[in-house]
Chain A
Amino acid sequence: MKKMRNNINVIMLLAALVIGLISCEKDTPQYLPYEGYAYSELTINGGNWTPVLQSAGDAIAIDTPSSSDSQEYINELEEVKEAMANMNSNQKKAIKYWTNNPAVRWNEIALELIAKYNLIPGPNDDGTYTLPNSSNPDGPPAFPFAHPPYACRALAYMSVAQFDGLISAWHYKYEYNRAAPFQQDEAIEFAYEENDIPSFPSDGAVVARVSKNILSAMFPLEVEYLKQMEEEHLESLMLSGGNVMSDITAGLEIGDAVSETALIRAAGDGMRNAQAPKAVSDSIKQAAYDRFGWAWDNLEIPERPVGLTPLFSQVTMWSIDDVESVRPIPPPQLDSQEFLDDVEVLKDYAKNMTDEKRRIANFWQDGLGTYTPPGHWNRIANEMIVEYKLNPLQTTRTLAYMNMAIMDSGISCWDAKYYYHYPRPIQMIDGFETIAGTPNFPSYTSGHSVFSAAASEVLAYIFPEEASTVRAWAEEAAISRVYGGIHWSFDATVGTDQGREVAQYTIDRAKADGADN
């Protein structure tokens, strides 16, 4: 009996040890873990910068605020104090979550919606495919399919409208110079690091309203969710001690005006026609075949009748007038030595897959169900924005130019894809198998390469200390597609050059907006 008890003790001890080993909780963050910070700069002249869509920071008119010694304003301060005195724990959590740079949070919300909606429609029982339709967003399939072109466009419009809105906000902040509640009344304690930026109009409210409006248009099934997020954010602006209600109201006015301008541009930018009908798609393919003697085929079962957004190339670019002006050189002929050599390179990668190549292929894959490559670069940008403690205006400037460059580069990439209509490796190499999913569009040039190169160039411009790092990441993202077996080497290398060239147009524009003065 004694022996038995000893055995039980040993087992119990082992069990406790093992449970302890595997149950240790890991940190699985759902957003970037930061809680606000002191801005590295205040960019006091930001109201004079050149916006992207508006003519100038004062293009949106708002009413003059009441002065800080008026009874009206004093009442507003009392309202803030009373609300702060009655905060519940959820409201306190919300203040921590939204931080004093909420553009990053709204960017994360956009990334989450992209990942949620980045699902390719499957076939119907009869082998046909139904496309998502904005006039019947419930589907099935639900609208939208947030693929990389859709994602980069949503991010570009949101970031540009945020940036334009904040230029207006900065303009009026320093025109009216109405100090923040926590500076007006010592009884009000600011939830974040204090700064001297005037609080009228509220930059947070501009960001909240713009983001909510743009994302609601891009993700119509999320209107209710976005409204809730906006309400929580707006409430936290007051409860943080940073804004009175009239600060917020003025910010909302700017937000509504600038997002209306952005959405008018979006409605007419050609995206609605990007998913061409089959007849148009077939004629594009035939034209490539006649021109080059090759054409890409979709190899899915059942075959998808149309590739992804054949006419995304026709969408209005931000910084380039003629997409053909940045079209890359043609890819190698299918009987050329360069092509035959590359077939061997791909076979070799597939046959001798290493842990490192597999890791790189997976790390940058950003495929279906994820935030896409444009989303990945927004995440990288968010991390750098927080690390370098950018203020909200600098934040949205960074995201605006990066996403403009990403979208322009995507449009240029899609021009190359459907002009050259080059086949994928699985189409050209018998028995070839991949570790990554082959997308539903032609091979040349690689979208990942172009998006990543463009994004990295803008980040290199904004964060010069990080230039070599981000450029190396972009090259790794490019080659990752070759390791994955879904792109030729020249898709990646030419795509990287293409992305860098296209981004330069947006960077030139950024350099002239007044921020570098």
Chain B
Amino acid sequence: MQRLYSLTPDLYKKMGKVILPFGIVIFMYPAVSLKAQTPSDGLMMPSKNICVLFSYDMGTFDRYWEGSYLRSNETIATVDRNMVLPMAAIGILDNLNFYVSLPYVSTESSEPNGGYFTGARGFQDIGFALKYRPIRTELGPGRVSFLGTAGFSTPLTNYLSDYRPYSIGAGAPEFSLRAIGQYELKNQLYFRASAAHLWRGYTEAERDYYYNDGSYYTAWMDVPNAWTFETILGKWLFDTSLKLELSYSNLTSTSGDDIRAYNAAQPTNKVEVDRIGFSAQYYFKSIKGLGVVAYHNRVVNGRNTPKMSNTGFGLTYQFNVIKKQTDEENAQ
């Protein structure tokens, strides 16, 4: 038992950190979807382990930035977007993890609104990510880790990306590369920073003309690439069963146009997002492998993006896929 207890929180910790970035970061809003942002944590799940996450995310906004002008718009009133996110993380090697996720998203306006638009719903993009940890070593009073992740996501259904603000995603394939560095003190206070570049492809509209600082005679819209940066301050409490994190993240498109006056957003927009967040994750000691997570984020500044706040809850469960090995561990 002694061995089990000492082992399990560590697994939970790894599992939880793996999952959280997905749960929090994924669909703030289609225009600024950070969905393919691969797990940005600093730890790995051991080989032959699988962790599943099921979370529910409630996002809402009643103002958005039209260019840099923060406005409300009674045509859409308050827009809610709810998401159910199933995800799995798989430990291939101790230093190589694989992730797959597939969110279901629904959007709608509050009533009354002046636009009478119907919302949208459906499965969004299927995402895959590989994370690799080349370095983890003791350094000074703590331990430093460096990791790299590569992610890919692509729309699973033919949802319409050109239906802002209700569209459930950007509708384009995305490839991302992320570098992560973490430093954790002996007292389990840690700081993590990551930077990623997102290469976005094109999304296909259902019209073959659009205006993007000029005419475009095609249904293909170029979804701008983007940089994201994230910093996290975290702390483990209560014998590594509760984890608290404060986060600040930024996304900046490298190109794109502004939303025009009182006009709808479109996938070609240049998006900037500054966001802060808080999360808490708790691992039950009584039920092996089970954890809960709750978080809240809000966009504090931006460009061509909703001033979105989102809150989510999730359940995580980790298990060892090789029963025999688990039995052996239990026996110990």
Mark A residues whose CB is within 8 Å of B: 4, 7-8, 11, 14-15, 18-19, 21-24, 26-32, 108, 111-112, 115-116, 119-123, 140-141, 299-302, 350, 355, 358-359, 362-363, 365-366, 368-371, 376, 379, 426, 432-435, 437-438, 485
Once the chains are docked, how many angstroms separate the CA of A369 from the CA of B177?
Answer: 35
Beta-carbon contact of A7 and B199 below 8 Å: no
Beta-carbon contact of B118 and A30 below 8 Å: no
| Minimal Cβ-Cβ distance residue in A for B75 | A300
Once the chains are docked, how many angstroms separate the CA of A308 from the CA of B134?
Answer: 64
State how many residues of chain B have any CB contact under 8 Å with chain A.
52
Checking A22, A108, A368 against B175 with a beta-carbon cut-off of 8 angstroms, the contacting residue is A22
* A433 in contact with B150 given A28-B216, A29-B218, A359-B206 (CB within 8 Å): no
Whether B137 is near chain A, meaning CB under 8 Å from some CB there, is: no
Residues of the A chain whose Cβ atoms lie less than 8 Å from the Cβ of B132: 7-8, 11
Q: B299-321: contact bitstring with A at CB < 8 Å (1 yes, 0 no)?
A: 00000000000000000000000
Beta-carbon contact of B118 and A435 below 8 Å: yes
Checking B116, B199, B207 against A426 with a beta-carbon cut-off of 8 angstroms, the contacting residue is B116
* A26 in contact with B118 given A112-B215, A362-B206 (CB within 8 Å): no
Beta-carbon contact of B113 and A301 below 8 Å: yes
Beta-carbon contact of B214 and A122 below 8 Å: no
Residues of the B chain whose Cβ atoms lie less than 8 Å from the Cβ of A350: 118
Checking B75, B162, B217 against A362 with a beta-carbon cut-off of 8 angstroms, the contacting residue is B162
Beta-carbon contact of A435 and B205 below 8 Å: no
* A30 in contact with B262 given A14-B130, A301-B112 (CB within 8 Å): no
Beta-carbon contact of B206 and A108 below 8 Å: no
Checking B96, B202, B205 against A26 with a beta-carbon cut-off of 8 angstroms, the contacting residue is B202
Residues of the B chain whose Cβ atoms lie less than 8 Å from the Cβ of A32: 217
Beta-carbon contact of B130 and A22 below 8 Å: no
Beta-carbon contact of A363 and B118 below 8 Å: no
| Minimal Cβ-Cβ distance residue in A for B223 | A22
Whether B152 is near chain A, meaning CB under 8 Å from some CB there, is: yes
Mark B residues whose CB is within 8 Å of A: 73-75, 77, 93, 95-96, 112-119, 130, 132, 134, 150, 152, 158, 160, 162-163, 172-175, 177, 199-202, 205-211, 214-218, 220, 222, 260-264
Beta-carbon contact of A22 and B218 below 8 Å: no
| Minimal Cβ-Cβ distance residue in B for A435 | B118
Once the chains are docked, how many angstroms separate the CA of A432 from the CA of B111?
Answer: 12
Beta-carbon contact of B214 and A362 below 8 Å: no
| Sample (15) of A-B pairs whose CB atoms are under 8 Å apart | A7-B96, A14-B130, A14-B150, A18-B175, A21-B173, A22-B201, A28-B218, A121-B261, A123-B74, A362-B162, A362-B206, A370-B209, A433-B116, A435-B163, A437-B117
Question: Separation in Å of the B213 CB from the closest CB of chain A?
Answer: 9
Question: Separation in Å of the A355 CB from the closest CB of chain B?
Answer: 6
Once the chains are docked, how many angstroms separate the CA of A162 from the CA of B313?
Answer: 64
Once the chains are docked, how many angstroms separate the CA of A437 from the CA of B118?
Answer: 10
Checking A18, A28, A115, A301 against B211 with a beta-carbon cut-off of 8 angstroms, the contacting residue is A115
Checking B117, B208, B218 against A435 with a beta-carbon cut-off of 8 angstroms, the contacting residue is B117
Checking A23, A122, A438 against B201 with a beta-carbon cut-off of 8 angstroms, the contacting residue is A23
Besides the known contacts A28-B220, A369-B210, A434-B116, 12 further A-B residue pairs in the complex with CB atoms under 8 A apart: A8-B132, A22-B201, A112-B215, A115-B215, A119-B261, A121-B262, A301-B77, A355-B158, A358-B160, A362-B207, A363-B207, A376-B209
Beta-carbon contact of B211 and A370 below 8 Å: yes
Closest 10 CB pairs of A and B: A122-B262, A362-B206, A301-B114, A301-B74, A433-B118, A22-B201, A300-B114, A115-B211, A22-B173, A426-B116
| Minimal Cβ-Cβ distance residue in A for B260 | A119
Beta-carbon contact of A370 and B75 below 8 Å: no
Residues of the B chain whose Cβ atoms lie less than 8 Å from the Cβ of A112: 211, 214-215
Checking A4, A29, A369 against B216 with a beta-carbon cut-off of 8 angstroms, the contacting residue is A29
Interface centre among A15, A32, A350 (most CB of B within 10 A): A15
| Minimal Cβ-Cβ distance residue in B for A118 | B211
Question: Separation in Å of the B222 CB from the closest CB of chain A?
Answer: 7
| Minimal Cβ-Cβ distance residue in B for A32 | B217
Residues of the A chain whose Cβ atoms lie less than 8 Å from the Cβ of B206: 358-359, 362-363
| Minimal Cβ-Cβ distance residue in B for A121 | B262
Once the chains are docked, how many angstroms separate the CA of A120 from the CA of B214?
Answer: 18
Residues of the B chain whose Cβ atoms lie less than 8 Å from the Cβ of A27: 218
* A370 in contact with B207 given A28-B222, A121-B262, A299-B116 (CB within 8 Å): yes
Residues of the B chain whose Cβ atoms lie less than 8 Å from the Cβ of A19: 175, 199
Once the chains are docked, how many angstroms separate the CA of A379 from the CA of B210?
Answer: 12
Residues of the B chain whose Cβ atoms lie less than 8 Å from the Cβ of A369: 210-211, 260, 263-264
Checking A120, A302, A365, A371 against B262 with a beta-carbon cut-off of 8 angstroms, the contacting residue is A120
Beta-carbon contact of A30 and B261 below 8 Å: no
Once the chains are docked, how many angstroms separate the CA of A7 from the CA of B132?
Answer: 9
Once the chains are docked, how many angstroms separate the CA of A476 from the CA of B70?
Answer: 39
Checking A29, A141, A299 against B217 with a beta-carbon cut-off of 8 angstroms, the contacting residue is A29
Residues of the A chain whose Cβ atoms lie less than 8 Å from the Cβ of B130: 11, 14
Residues of the A chain whose Cβ atoms lie less than 8 Å from the Cβ of B115: 300, 437-438
Once the chains are docked, how many angstroms separate the CA of A350 from the CA of B119?
Answer: 12
Question: Separation in Å of the B76 CB from the closest CB of chain A?
Answer: 10
Residues of the B chain whose Cβ atoms lie less than 8 Å from the Cβ of A8: 132, 134
| Minimal Cβ-Cβ distance residue in B for A298 | B114
Once the chains are docked, how many angstroms separate the CA of A116 from the CA of B206?
Answer: 20
Residues of the B chain whose Cβ atoms lie less than 8 Å from the Cβ of A122: 73, 261-262
Beta-carbon contact of A434 and B160 below 8 Å: no
Residues of the B chain whose Cβ atoms lie less than 8 Å from the Cβ of A18: 150, 152, 175
Once the chains are docked, how many angstroms separate the CA of A24 from the CA of B261?
Answer: 32
* A30 in contact with B217 given A11-B132, A358-B160 (CB within 8 Å): yes
Once the chains are docked, how many angstroms separate the CA of A434 from the CA of B113?
Answer: 12
Residues of the A chain whose Cβ atoms lie less than 8 Å from the Cβ of B160: 358, 362
Once the chains are docked, how many angstroms separate the CA of A122 from the CA of B261?
Answer: 8
Once the chains are docked, how many angstroms separate the CA of A327 from the CA of B152?
Answer: 57
Residues of the B chain whose Cβ atoms lie less than 8 Å from the Cβ of A358: 160, 206
Beta-carbon contact of B117 and A434 below 8 Å: yes
Beta-carbon contact of A111 and B215 below 8 Å: yes
Question: Separation in Å of the B74 CB from the closest CB of chain A?
Answer: 4
Once the chains are docked, how many angstroms separate the CA of A130 from the CA of B188?
Answer: 59
Residues of the A chain whose Cβ atoms lie less than 8 Å from the Cβ of B112: 301
Residues of the B chain whose Cβ atoms lie less than 8 Å from the Cβ of A121: 261-262
Question: Separation in Å of the B66 CB from the closest CB of chain A?
Answer: 9
| Minimal Cβ-Cβ distance residue in A for B163 | A435
| Minimal Cβ-Cβ distance residue in A for B263 | A369
Question: Separation in Å of the B178 CB from the closest CB of chain A?
Answer: 12
Question: Separation in Å of the B199 CB from the closest CB of chain A?
Answer: 6
Once the chains are docked, how many angstroms separate the CA of A14 from the CA of B117?
Answer: 41
Residues of the B chain whose Cβ atoms lie less than 8 Å from the Cβ of A299: 114, 116
Question: Separation in Å of the A290 CB from the closest CB of chain B?
Answer: 28
